[in-house]
Amino acid sequence: MRLILEGSGASRGMALGRARLEQPSRFLVDNTPLEQSEVADELLRIDQALAAARAELKGLRDKLDGPLAREVAEFIDAHGLMLEDPEFVEGLHDLISDGRYHASAALKMQRDRLVAVFEAMDDPYLRSRREDIEHVIGRVQGALNRESSVEERKLASRVGEILVSDTVAPSELVPLAEHGLLGFILTGGSTLSHSAILARSLRLPMVVGSHEALSHLQDGDLVLIDGDSGNVIAHPTAQDLASYRHWQRELAAQDKRRARLREADTRTVDGIDIHLHANAEMAADVARARSFGAAGIGLYRTEFLFLQRRDAPGEEEQFLAYRDLVLGMGGLPVTIRTLDLGADKADSAGLVLEDEPNPALGVRGVRLSLRIPQLMYTQLRAILRTTGYGPVRILVPMISAVEEITMVRRLVDECAMQLRAEGHQIAERFEIGAMIEVPAAAIALRSMIQHLDFVAIGTNDLVQYTLAVDRNNNELGDLYDPLHPAVLRLIAHTIAVCRRNKRPVTLCGEIAGDVYFTPMLIALGLTEFSMHPGLILEVREAVNTLHAGELRKLAAQLLRAGDRASIRAVMQRMRASMPTIMENADPAAAAH
């Protein structure tokens, strides 16, 4: 039966696939006693579920090939033998007919009994085989609870998989994508988590905060995921599938129309040039940035090199990655951000820190790099070595005081001196910039600006720290709002200080790639954006319809507005200047 599960869209797009549950043993168990008249039907249900599970295992075994086929087949055969075990089957029948348990409750009791037996064994290997029990019981529970029709199961067998889980680590995303995963449905997570940002880079739809997904979906269910609305449709109807095909056709037409903008200028109708840079963290992002006509890389996140391994990468490994990035951009400017990790992720990168009660306010960003000097020396040396291959800027995250900037500059000078003494060909001068994501940095920018060559506004964290709202907390989603008056004033102040001091300023938060915010940012005087490469053509299309002069006349009204409703009213007048582009922009996006 068709079921809609609500969540929040974290990565745009749609995908149709079969559910793959990370925890297949989590099922709804009916503990109410059976009536005598229901026993026969329940026995039939469990027998049908067992038969379906056996058939699934046989189908898997028949498809095996390659060098691991024999080893995998042994596990499948072991699972099949358990399903054929008379004691296991008769135990289920007895629980249903004599104990009056529903089939789901009987399976859980059998699972608990068998797990207890395995855990009591002395042999570590045999104890470890309890996982087999979990998989077998999970498969039967899935068959027992599955509501899909024969036609739906046939369609599901022809499409790829969509992961359903509580969370997914950034380091897991790329391997999953390489194995053909189509999208993600997470019960937790945040639209601004690193995993969500990476999913957008991979162009994989993601829905987060779908709290009931693991309880209501079974392995193999056909699901339609909508990363724009945040809805997940289980057992989609013919009408849902028709809507999905329509979306595919619309997307193809839209891509064809925007493809003509790949080589076009990004310029407002009154002649103001706007520079659209790309955010990147892997080679695929660089290739797409070039193909979509990016003005350069405005933010290269180096964390990806650290998060996909258990130990910190050395200088040579980092150098090769950064060099390939610079060469890949063919002479266009590249901004490399130094490591932006905190205690919540440092351990996964081989950098062990003590647990912190609040990592967001702890040792992260430049604080972590300065706390471990060798870490920063290694990264700075790798970055500086790339300056002989093209224009490179160094961006430092989590800056909150002038002293941090001067310490970084001193380290850069020391590394440069060492590299020249070693015979490396590096640039004569290096541009160093600060991420403005801490309110203190924005407020004190006048005193810091003389120590900086450029500035990048990181709105994802600026909103979080200004509003004291954890951007990974789903319960606070309504409060996390870039259109809060305080946030807008900090953005406007940062842009104004940079313009007065003739320093380039780029905005590289998620709102940079959202056309709902484009008129507002141009009204505030921003001319440099950095965004996910896949959004460049959409933003270029929007910019080319705008009149910067007319928008800037509304800036004062925007900054005088005392509440979010008033700000949205001003933005509505701005949007009126580009109706064809903005008609699909969702005002609710402002909350994300």
Residue 273 three-state SS: strand
Q: Are strands 206-208 and 8-11 parallel, antiparallel or unpaired?
A: antiparallel
- Stated as kind and residue range, the H or E segment containing 297 is strand 297-301
Integer Rg of the chain from CA: 28
- Please tell me the predicted confidence (pLDDT) of residue 126: 57
> Quick check: 168 and 256 in contact, CB under 8 A?
no
Last residue of a domain, one of 492, 508, 524: 508
What DSSP string describes 323-392?
HHHHHHTTTS-EEEEPP---HHHHGGGT------S-GGGSS-THHHHHHSHHHHHHHHHHHHHGGGSS-E
Amino acid present at 400: S
Is 93 inside any structural domain? yes
The residues facing 226 across adjacent strands are 14, 231
Long-range contacts of 534-539 (CB under 8 A, 24+ apart): 534/200, 534/203, 534/288, 534/292, 536/276, 536/278, 536/289, 536/292, 536/293, 536/294, 537/258, 537/259, 537/261, 537/262, 537/292, 537/293, 538/258, 538/513, 539/266, 539/276, 539/512, 539/513, 539/515
Q: Among 254, 320, 250, which residue's Cα sits nearest to residue 283?
A: 320
Residue listed under structure tokens 């990048």: 456
Helices 283-291 and 315-328, packing angle to 10 deg: 10
pLDDT by 10s per residue, the chain, length 592: 889 999 989 898 999 998 888 754 455 577 888 899 999 999 998 998 888 888 877 776 676 555 445 555 666 777 788 888 888 899 999 999 998 999 888 888 888 888 788 777 766 655 556 666 766 777 787 777 665 555 555 554 556 889 998 888 776 777 777 777 899 999 987 787 778 877 887 789 999 999 899 888 888 889 999 999 999 999 999 999 999 999 999 888 888 888 888 889 999 999 999 999 999 988 888 999 999 999 999 999 998 888 766 678 899 999 999 999 999 999 999 999 999 986 556 555 556 566 677 777 888 889 989 988 999 999 999 999 999 999 999 999 999 999 999 999 999 999 999 999 999 999 999 999 999 999 999 999 999 999 999 999 999 999 999 999 887 666 666 788 899 999 999 999 999 999 999 999 999 988 999 899 999 999 999 999 999 998 999 999 999 999 999 999 999 999 999 999 999 999 998 877 665 544 445 444 443 4
**Could you tell me how far CA 555 lies from the centroid of its own chain?**
32
Catalytic residue set: 194, 508
Last residue of a domain, one of 471, 490, 508: 508
Domain count for the chain: 2
- Please tell me the predicted confidence (pLDDT) of residue 479: 83
- Please tell me the predicted confidence (pLDDT) of residue 67: 46
Last residue of a domain, one of 464, 481, 508: 508
Is 25 inside any structural domain? no
Is 466 inside any structural domain? yes
Is 204 inside any structural domain? no
The CATH number of residue 98's host domain is 1.10.274.10
Is 422 inside any structural domain? yes
**How would you write 34-92 as a 3-class SS string?**
CCHHHHHHHHHHHHHHHHHHHHHHHHHHHHCCCCCHHHHHHHHHHHHHHHHCHHHHHHH
Q: Are strands 206-208 and 454-457 parallel, antiparallel or unpaired?
A: unpaired
The CATH number of residue 304's host domain is 3.20.20.60
Is 98 inside any structural domain? yes
- Please tell me the predicted confidence (pLDDT) of residue 588: 41
Residue 438 is part of which domain span? 296-508
Is 393 inside any structural domain? yes
- Please tell me the predicted confidence (pLDDT) of residue 269: 94
Is 497 inside any structural domain? yes
**Integer Cα distance of 459 and 466 in angstroms:** 10
- Stated as kind and residue range, the H or E segment containing 150 is helix 150-156
- Please tell me the predicted confidence (pLDDT) of residue 158: 57
**Integer Cα distance of 457 and 434 in angstroms:** 8
In degrees, to the nearest 5, what angle opens at C-alpha 276 toward C-alphas 201 and 284?
30
